[in-house]
Amino acid sequence: MVKPKYTIAVTGLNNTDNPGPGVPVIRGLRESDTFDVRIIGLAYENLEPGIYMPNTADKIYQIPYPSAGGEAFIKKIEYIHSCEKLDCIIPNFDAELYTFMKNEKKLAQMGIKTFLPSIKQFEERHKANLPSFGKKYNINVPKSIAVTNISDLSNINDKFDFPVLVKGKFYDAYIVYNLEQLQYNFNKIASKWGVPVIIQEYIQGTEVNVVALGDGKGNTIGAVPMRKQYITDKGKAWGGITLDDEKMLEITRNLIKKTRWRGGMELEMIKTEDNKYFMIEINPRIPAWVYLANGAGQNLPEALVNLAMGINVEPYKTYKTGIMFIRYSYDLIGNISQFEKLNINGEL
């Protein structure tokens, strides 16, 4: 059988110490058994490592920030589409997802497939809405409130005991031990990601995560649980290992079934000493450690593209446990001329 060749655009090429999922997603796609790919990398900034990495993207385009508005974004995508004839786009940033979901129909009309959660699914799992989400789907969640104004922090003692976690709407989380630290980090996060900033109860335990893919009809196409073995000072996994944990899979399948989740997702949980699981975050996209799932036998980026293309995908039934990933850093050598080309032409 001849494999089809898809042109797939991918964002999140920032393979830094706070990595985006773009590069691991591309690795998954390149290893697909069912299709060949031409990869179009979409970059916001001019030093995202994925731009310069060999065997990663075939072509790079700069795109405007989500904060520039949907109109500017669509215009640029139209232009890229006219040059590349995109079959599919996989967005990988929380902050850009809203713009992609809002423009899902427009993209479809242009002939570009996506496989995204609905705005309703996206909104209800938002960090700020976690308490009501937990209630609705009967999941343990830590107590949390969304704060828009720093003056509302002064009576935080009535509601929480320190330490608490302070989190940005899209990214960033800090653990703080007193009001001064809280206010400082509130400002830090608010200036970067805007408001609301989320104040969350700190739960002691082991951090465990699941990467999963829902087909939008309630079926779990794939799911792999992982424990972070080494965590960077930014709270990111620098090493992890797949787990044999039926309870985590059950929580995942149950959630995907009830929400009819469409697309990739990452569930971040805390497993306490007494074996309770608390959901601390639900990320509406594939996480940066997704290549571990490949290693364990589930190529979720490939499955996601097939779903987007309207192809029936058989759910993965198994994965290997005890598979590890260890991130490493590596210095690429580049030349100013590449940088010039990208900055002047907006493509490379």
Partner 1 sequence: MRLKKNIAISETGFIFNPSTGDSFTLNPIGIEILSFIENEKKYEEISDAILEKYDVDTITFEKNYYDFIQMLKNNHLLENE
Partner 2 sequence: MEKLRYESPIINKVNAGMPDKFGMNVNTKPISYIDGVSVKDLLKDYGSPLFVLSEKTITETYNNSKRAFTSRYPKIQFAWSYKTNYLNAVCSLFHQLGSWAEVVSGFEYEKAIKNGIEGKHIIFNGPDKSKEDLIKASKNGSLIHIDHFDELYMLIEIADSIDETPKVAIRVNMDTGIFPQWDRFGFNYENGEAWNAINRIMISKKLNLVGLHCHIGTYMMSPSPYSVATKKLIDLALEIDHKYKHKIKYLDLGGGFASKNTLKGAYLPGTDTCPTFDDYADAITNVIINSQISPENLPTLILETGRALIDDAGYILGTVLANKRLASGRRATIIDIGVNMLFTSFWYEHEIFPAQQCSTQTEDTTIYGPLCMNIDVIRQAIQFPILQKGDNVVIKRIGAYNMTQWMQFITLRPKIILIDTESKAHIIRKNETNSVFENLEITPKYLKK
Binding residue (CB under 8 A) for partner 1 from 309, 339, 346, 347: 339
Do the Cβ atoms of 193 and 170 come closer than 8 Å? yes
Residue 235 CA, distance from chain mean position: 14
Q: Which does 207 bind (CB under 5 to 8 A by kind): partner 2, partner 1, none?
A: none
For partner 2, the closer CB: 92 or 220: 92
Sketch the per residue contact string, 55 through 94, with partner 2: x for CB under 8 A, - otherwise.
---------xxxxxxxxx--------------------x-
Query: Does the footprint of partner 1 cover residue 193 (CB under 8 A)?
Result: no
In the complex, the smallest distance separating the C-beta of residue 16 from partner 1, rounded to whole angstroms, is 19
Residues forming beta bridges with residue 165, ordered by sequence position: 175, 200
Do the Cβ atoms of 348 and 341 come closer than 8 Å? yes
> How many DSSP H helices and E strands does the chain contain?
12, 14
Rounded Cα–Cα distance for residues 247 and 249 (Å) = 5
Query: Does the footprint of partner 1 cover residue 132 (CB under 8 A)?
Result: no
Here the tokens at position 174 are 């800090």
For partner 2, the closer CB: 47 or 324: 47
For partner 2, the closer CB: 132 or 206: 132
Rounded Cα–Cα distance for residues 5 and 201 (Å) = 48
- In angstroms and rounded to an integer, the radius of gyration of the C-alpha atoms of the chain is 20
Distances from the Cα of 19 to the Cαs of 92, 198, 290, 298, in angstroms? 11, 22, 12, 21
In the complex, the smallest distance separating the C-beta of residue 292 from partner 2, rounded to whole angstroms, is 23
The interface region with partner 1, picked from 49-57, 229-237, 325-333, 338-346 by CB under 8 A, is: 338-346
Within 318-337, the residues that bind partner 1 by CB under 8 A are 336
Q: Which does 171 bind (CB under 5 to 8 A by kind): partner 1, partner 2, none?
A: partner 2
Q: Which does 190 bind (CB under 5 to 8 A by kind): partner 2, partner 1, none?
A: partner 2
Query: Does the footprint of partner 1 cover residue 343 (CB under 8 A)?
Result: yes
Q: Cα(first)–Cα(last) distance of the chain, in Å? A: 33
Q: Position 274: which residue type?
A: D
Rounded Cα–Cα distance for residues 11 and 96 (Å) = 9
Query: Does the footprint of partner 2 cover residue 48 (CB under 8 A)?
Result: yes
Length of the chain (residues)? 348
Query: Does the footprint of partner 2 cover residue 171 (CB under 8 A)?
Result: yes
For partner 2, the closer CB: 53 or 95: 95
Rounded Cα–Cα distance for residues 176 and 322 (Å) = 33
Binding residue (CB under 8 A) for partner 1 from 1, 332, 333, 344: 344
Nearest to 253 by CA among 292, 298, 218: 218
Residue 213 CA, distance from chain mean position: 12
Query: Does the footprint of partner 2 cover residue 16 (CB under 8 A)?
Result: yes
In the complex, the smallest distance separating the C-beta of residue 49 from partner 1, rounded to whole angstroms, is 18
Q: Which does 140 bind (CB under 5 to 8 A by kind): partner 2, partner 1, none?
A: none
Give the count of alpha carbons within 13 A of 65, CB side only.
Answer: 5
What secondary structure letter does DSSP report for 68?
G
Give residues in contact with partner 2 (CB under 8 A).
Answer: 14, 16, 18, 20, 43-48, 64-72, 93, 95, 98-99, 102, 123, 132, 145-149, 152, 169-171, 190, 192-196, 339, 343
Give residues in contact with partner 1 (CB under 8 A).
Answer: 336, 339-340, 343-345
